[in-house]
Homo-oligomer: A and B are copies of this chain.
Amino acid sequence: MRQIASITQIPGIKAANYTNAEAGTGCTVIICPEGATGAVDVRGGAPATRETDLLRPEETVQILNAVVLSGGSAYGLAASCGVAEELERHGIGLDVGVGVVPIVSGACVFDLACGAPDVRPTAENGAEATRKALANEGEPLERGCVGAGTGCTVGKLGGPELTMKSGLGEDVECAGELVCGAVSAVNACGDVVDPETGKPIAAMRTPDGKGLGNTVEALLAMQAKMPLSRTNTTISCVVTNAKLTKAQATKVAQMSADAYAHAIRPTHSTNDGDTIFVMATGKVDAPVDIVGALATRALERAIADGAKSATSMFGLPAASDLK
């Protein structure tokens, strides 16, 4: 089985981050210049997204040029505008006769409470990440507190004192010729757990701040509404070389949502705007269920990686600090 270290090594895929470590925000751009088959699954209660309606199987457009994962809450959708403009400069997009219209879908995490709340990814930041991605010839994507993961945190139910730093995670899995990779900006209210064993990796800390607590138990004992200020969202992009229709890619996106359940507890809450995009480059025939199972594995491991690869920032410890 071949080794693929990053989604940037999947033929047809380019990716890079823009990171503003000082302000605690950034964005991650995943580009398919030739146009992937796209799909999305929005399962969280508080999403911030753009260009998700055209991904529905019954709608006309059949390509997706880029997925933008961004910090900055709904303001961060501006980064996608800059990605579209930069792709236009490179002649990448849907040919509409008088030019091209790049198809750019995006989703945001709420990272305003981490770092500077008034600094969000801009169109120029999106354009910068796009230029970096297009120039990337297979260099692995950076992971940790970078890109859309820069301001990500988890285990937020107990307030900022017990929150932990998380970040951007990635994983690539192969089964024969089939490749499924995933990138995830892990910004859940809940705890990140090992998807195989359920053991916590990064979680709401115990009251002394030194151990890993349990958000589900805390929530059930709380008898109160989750504060909106602790808004969350884990946003991800699955990239595969599978040949899928839009309808099949949609089913794969839906199946991949199980990765959230495997690696985050609880997930899909009313304050989690959990969203998963799929980009399929159409090179390898594979049954939908196998693509779904492999994508789920890649995504659950990417989520775990987002917690494991983070480092402490803004006074918030990361999983690597509590070892």
CB distance from A194 to the nearest CB of B (A): 9
In the complex, how many angstroms separate the beta carbon of A14 from the nearest chain B beta carbon? 27
Give the docked Cα–Cα distance between A28 and B50 (Å). 43
At the interface, yes or no: A85 with Cβ under 8 Å from chain B?
A: no
Q: Give the complex CA separation of A296 and B216 in angstroms.
A: 10
Q: Contact mask A210-227 → B, CB, 8 Å, 1/0?
A: 000000100111111110
Q: Which of A45, A216, A261, A287 has the most CB atoms of chain B within a 10 A radius of its CB?
A: A261
Asked whether A224 and B287 contact (CB < 8 A) given A197-B197, A262-B261, A292-B269, the answer is yes
A293 near B216: Cβ-Cβ < 8 Å: yes
Distance of A316 from chain B, by nearest CB (Å) = 23
Interface flag for A271 (CB, 8 Å): yes
- Contacts of A269 on B, CB cut-off 8 Å? 255, 289, 292
1/0 per position for A243-286, CB-CB distance to B under 8 A?
A: 00000000100110110111000111111000000000000001
A175 vs B220: C-alpha distance in the bound complex, in angstroms?
6
Does A251 contact B45, Cβ atoms closer than 8 Å? yes
Contact, CB under 8 Å: A266 / B296:
yes
Residues of A222-240 whose CB lies within 8 A of B = 222-226
CB distance from A283 to the nearest CB of B (A): 15
Q: Which of B176, B198, B270, B286 contacts A289 (CB 8 A)?
A: B270
Q: In this assembly, does A294 line the interface, its C-beta being within 8 Å of a C-beta of chain B?
A: yes
Complex CA distance for A216 and B297, rounded to whole angstroms: 9
Question: Quick one: which of B251, B266, B294 contacts A270, CB cutoff 8 A?
Answer: B251
A266: B residues at CB distance < 8 A: 255, 258, 289, 292-293, 296
Task: State the CA gap A198–B194 with chains docked (Å).
Answer: 10
- Interface residues in A145-191 by Cβ distance below 8 A to B read 175-176
- Which of B175, B196, B257, B261 has a CB less than 8 Å from the CB of A223? B175
CA–CA, A271 and B251, complex, Å: 12
Q: Is A5 an interface residue (CB 8 A)?
A: no
| Contact (A221, B175) CB under 8 Å given A255-B269, A269-B255 | yes
CB within 8 Å for A290 and B222 given contacts A197-B197, A251-B270: yes
Interface residues of chain A, those whose CB is within 8 Å of chain B, are 43, 45, 175-176, 196-198, 216, 219-226, 251, 254-255, 257-258, 260-262, 266-271, 286-290, 292-294, 296-297
| Further contacts, 5 of them, CB under 8 A, given A197-B198, A220-B293 | A197-B197, A198-B198, A220-B297, A261-B261, A261-B262
11 cross-chain CB contacts under 8 A: A45-B251, A176-B223, A196-B198, A219-B293, A223-B286, A254-B268, A255-B266, A258-B260, A258-B266, A266-B292, A270-B289
